[in-house]
Amino acid sequence: MIATTTIQIPADHPALTGHFPGNPIVPGAVILDLAGAFVAERMGGRITRVLKARFTAPLAPNTPLVIEMEPKDGELVAVTCRSAEATVMTAIMEWGPDLADGGPAGPARPAEA
């Protein structure tokens, strides 16, 4: 099941301050964070690791960015982020249960009496 979404990072996003004045580009960490949030939302959990991320082209603010995710073996998800001009990022992420749902490192359960 391949899932996609399209987003835009606005020119007034706080991460763009000083990244690079006069010719701003969206930091890779912002793209990675947004892609991870999309994967977590679609898969119903959280990102536990980013095994590989490759940034291949800059992304200007206010540019539509298509995030595509495709589940692979086990807990792995392949992610591709594209603008109209180029592939911006590819990544392999690992997801797992949300800690709030009582995953392996989730909240402690009260002892039964």
| Radius of gyration for the alpha carbons in the chain, expressed in angstroms and rounded | 16
The span from the CA of 92 to the CA of 71, in Å, is: 10
Instruction: Using the predicted structure, report yes or no on whether residue 8 has a pLDDT greater than 70.
Output: yes
Q: What is the mean pLDDT of the chain?
A: 89
Q: What is the tens place of the pLDDT at every residue in 20-42?
A: 888 999 999 999 999 999 999 99
> What's the Cα-to-Cα distance from 102 to each of 19, 79, 93, rounded to whole Å?
38, 26, 21
All structural domains of the chain, each given as residue ranges with its CATH number in brackets, are: 3-100 (3.10.129.10)
- The pLDDT value recorded for residue 100 is 67
pLDDT band at 101 (very low <50, low <70, confident <90, very high): low
Instruction: Using the predicted structure, report yes or no on whether residue 106 has a pLDDT greater than 60.
Output: no
Instruction: Using the predicted structure, report yes or no on whether residue 103 has a pLDDT greater than 60.
Output: no
